[in-house]
Amino acid sequence: MALKSLQKITLLSAVSATGAGSSFSVERSKGWTFTVASSSVTSGGTVDVEAYIGGGWRVIHSEAVTADGNVTVRDDHGHYEKIRGNVSARTDGTYSLFATGTTDSL
């Protein structure tokens, strides 16, 4: 029986401006869960999860945020080289983005 472990990454941490965060190598992980956490939101913003695919960054999930709270999204299909978070639009609010992937042991 193969053991499974989790890869946990903070893609964005309390971001209050537009722009992409740092990229993380995730070649050994799949079965992703992404959580967007927002606070101080009146009008909101858009938080994107991006993956490095085919030599460029592609949006694999886009979340329009209009209130404080948490939104969790599951991605069972992706097996990516790198991922990152991006606040692509923002009127107000602070945003964090967390990723958890499954790593199968060899």
How confident is the model over 51-66, as a mean pLDDT?
96
What's the pLDDT tens digit per position in 27-47?
989 999 999 999 999 999 999
The pLDDT, as a whole number, for residue 71 is 97
Q: Which residues of 73-98 are buried (b: 16+ CB within 10 A; e: fewer)?
A: eebeebebeebbbbbeebeebbbbbb
What's the pLDDT tens digit per position in 90-103?
999 999 999 999 98
Are 81 and 29 contacting, i.e. CB atoms less than 8 angstroms apart? no
- H or E stretch at 32: strand 30-39
pTM to 2 decimals?
A: 0.92
Please give the mean pLDDT across all residues of the chain: 93
The pLDDT, as a whole number, for residue 2 is 62
